[in-house]
Structure 1
Amino acid sequence: MYQILVVDDSVLDVDCITFLIKKYELPLEVTTAVNGQDALELFRKPENHYDILFTDIRMPFLDGLGLSKEVRKLSPNTRIIIFSGFNDFEYAKTAITIGVEDYLMKPVIPDEFVSVMTRVINGVEETNRQIRTRRSETKLLKNHMLWLAVNGKSSMLADSAPFLKDRYTGLMLVECDNEFFSLDGISFQEKLADILSTPFDYLNLDPSRSILFFKEGAFLFPCAQSVCLCAEKEFHQKCCVAFQTLPDNGSISQVYTQLEERLENHFFFPEQSIFLPDGPDHPYASSGHISIDIVSDDLRLKDYDSLMLHLEDLFESLKHEKTRSLIFVKYCFTELMKEIIHYLPD
């Protein structure tokens, strides 16, 4: 179904257009407005999208031509049809300059209406097809450039193409024991896009391995926990994750090699899900990032090595923290015991 916004201060005319759309079973979902100003407010809402604007010319507050000019700025791909009871050449001439699709006279003749709407709907379908094709081609090219960067074949990622200007700040390697990414890789990517609060690009390397490129300064450890929990909860799949910050796009290949080496430890620690960056100074093990939520995620993942590290960090942070009250410390340990009892009743 395509979205059409019908705008007219005459309720009778709006009902007529709505009736014709239903009668001839046109694939259109109708929204209505009584004047150009109200219609413009609908277009300005980011959650709204209209494929077709069907508007009268003479209306209070903002007429159809003024509305069409504003809509052309806000939504260039929206097809505009004007209908009016005034057979005025000046209106038609202005409509042409705006880029209006067609100009119908009142009263609307059903056969003419259906003919115009069918042609416009076909135009919308063709435009959408071209947009999907361009997006698909762009995605394929971008994935190819990311693959080159991972394999050390493109050290100038940011200058590779106009749409590869992203400054990546973190890399996350996700690995599974089976060929999970060849079966559910697309669904997994879509699910991650819903649950992760920071933008990222996703590249499927092979059936058992994928990589996430984070575009903003994200807290990578909570993201890693979310990835593991998503795989387990939504797909009943256990995976292990390694992550690290990126100094610049040119270091992608080098950091990726480090992540590969870190995940080799999974052989020795099969129960561990998240492999932290090396060294005691990395920010993800610092007390400032440890919370009850992180400990809860460790328990849900049964990642006891990570749990012990985070408990030690939590103990140390509370031990040396001079601004926390005794009540706060008691609260932390009470909540901690609740979590442990919940997840480890035995």
Structure 2
Amino acid sequence: MLTILIADDQREEREGIEFLIDELGFVLHIETAENGRKALEYLEQNPVDILFTDVRMPLMDGLQLTTEAINLNPKLKVILFSGFAEFEYAKTAISLGVSEYLLKPINVEAFQNTMQKVIAQLTDQEQENIASQIKLEYVKKHVLFNLVNGLGIPSSMKEISFELPDHYHGMFLLEFDKNFFENAGPEFEEFILSLLKDPVDYVNLNGCQSLLLFPHLPADSPCSFRDLGTFLHDSILDNYKVHCY
């Protein structure tokens, strides 16, 4: 769920924005702050997707808050609102990277359109991030597969930025009697990784073998690989009714 932080020194203004968000059916987690400084303190400690802030506030005004907030999170969407007499602030706001600018009193239709636009931008951005992460995971697995088989890193992938550890502290080869992975599907990897406390790289080698590569020793103790292997074997047997060696 997306989080919106409403910053305004007038309680009735904050409550009015909260009411509109609820009345128009926007599914957002709402936080409020009574001035710019408290809003900045919240932003420093918590993830926020949308900052909805008044321009004129004590201690720290909306433009100062916007500058600090975008420095903290360049992807933050900022919506400024102010009276008509302060509309000149809009020019400065645009240069700061403000997403939208609304006038007081809030027009319901303008507010609805603005919120829809900003939420759509955030949704598209999240989908792009997911697609990019999936691509990087695919590249990483392909590179690991090549390295394990002594083929080196493909030249087409050398320019793609992803992280590999300098070395691995341990490895499990999971082996099945038959072509287990033809039927197990991608959810097997999710199942295995859900059993492990620490980050592990997973690589499918063929229809009946896969590798678990440990960037760090298991969390419990440096000598727990045998116990961990037994645990994985028993968990696979319980869930998939097959033996893994």
Q: Matches of 1:132 and 1:167 in 2, distance apart?
A: 26
**Letter matched to residue 60 of structure 2:** L
| Structure 1 unaligned spans of 5+ | 241-265, 267-346
CA RMSD of aligned residues (A): 2.9
Q: Where do residues 169-188 of structure 1 align in structure 2 (5 Å cutoff)?
A: 169-177=168-176, 179=180, 182=185, 184-188=187-191
- Confirm or deny: 8 A CA contact 1:173 1:209 kept in the other structure: no
CA 1:170–1:239 in structure 2 vs 1: closer, same or farther (change >3 Å)?
farther
Q: CA deviation at 1:175?
A: 1.4
Instruction: Tell which deviates more after alignment, 175-184 or 10-19.
Output: 175-184
Please say if 1:167 is aligned against 2:170.
Answer: no
1:107 — aligned with what?
A: 105
1:16 — aligned with what?
A: 16
**Letter matched to residue 196 of structure 1:** K
* One of 124, 127, 130 as aligned partner of 1:126: 124
Please say if 1:214 is aligned against 2:187.
Answer: no
Q: CA deviation at 1:162?
A: 3.0
Give deviations 1:176-233, integer Å, cap 9, x for gaps. 53626536423224414xx424x33222334543323333466554256345425635
- Confirm or deny: 8 A CA contact 1:169 1:214 kept in the other structure: yes
Q: CA deviation at 1:168?
A: 2.4
Identity %: 33
Q: Where do residues 170-319 of structure 1 align in structure 2 (5 Å cutoff)?
A: 170-177=169-176, 179=180, 182=185, 184-192=187-195, 195-197=196-198, 199-216=199-216, 221-222=223-224, 225-226=227-228, 228-229=230-231, 232-233=234-235, 236=238
Q: Matches of 2:232 and 2:172 in 1, distance apart?
A: 15
Q: Matches of 2:125 and 2:50 in 1, distance apart?
A: 12
- What secondary structure is seen at the aligned counterpart in 2 of 1:5? strand
Instruction: Tell which deviates more after alignment, 58-67 or 144-153.
Output: 58-67
Q: Matches of 2:231 and 2:153 in 1, distance apart?
A: 33
- Confirm or deny: 8 A CA contact 2:236 2:243 kept in the other structure: no
Structure with the higher helix share, 1 or 2: 1
**Letter matched to residue 161 of structure 2:** P
1:297 — aligned with what?
A: none
Q: CA deviation at 1:100?
A: 0.5
Q: Matches of 1:85 and 1:43 in 2, distance apart?
A: 25
- What secondary structure is seen at the aligned counterpart in 2 of 1:6? strand
Q: Matches of 1:72 and 1:52 in 2, distance apart?
A: 11
**Letter matched to residue 104 of structure 2:** K
- What secondary structure is seen at the aligned counterpart in 1 of 2:224? helix
Instruction: Tell which deviates more after alignment, 34-43 or 12-21.
Output: 34-43
2:2 — aligned with what?
A: 2
CA 1:173–1:76 in structure 2 vs 1: closer, same or farther (change >3 Å)?
same
Q: Matches of 1:227 and 1:76 in 2, distance apart?
A: 44
Q: Matches of 1:21 and 1:165 in 2, distance apart?
A: 44
**Letter matched to residue 163 of structure 1:** F
- What secondary structure is seen at the aligned counterpart in 2 of 1:113? helix
Q: Matches of 2:28 and 2:237 in 1, distance apart?
A: 36
**Letter matched to residue 95 of structure 2:** T
TM-score, length of structure 1 as denominator length: 0.60
1:34 — aligned with what?
A: 34
Give deviations 1:12-45, integer Å, cap 9, x for gaps. 1111111111111013221212222222222222
| Structure 2 unaligned spans of 5+ | none
> How many residues get paired?
235
**Letter matched to residue 194 of structure 2:** K
- Confirm or deny: 8 A CA contact 1:87 1:105 kept in the other structure: no
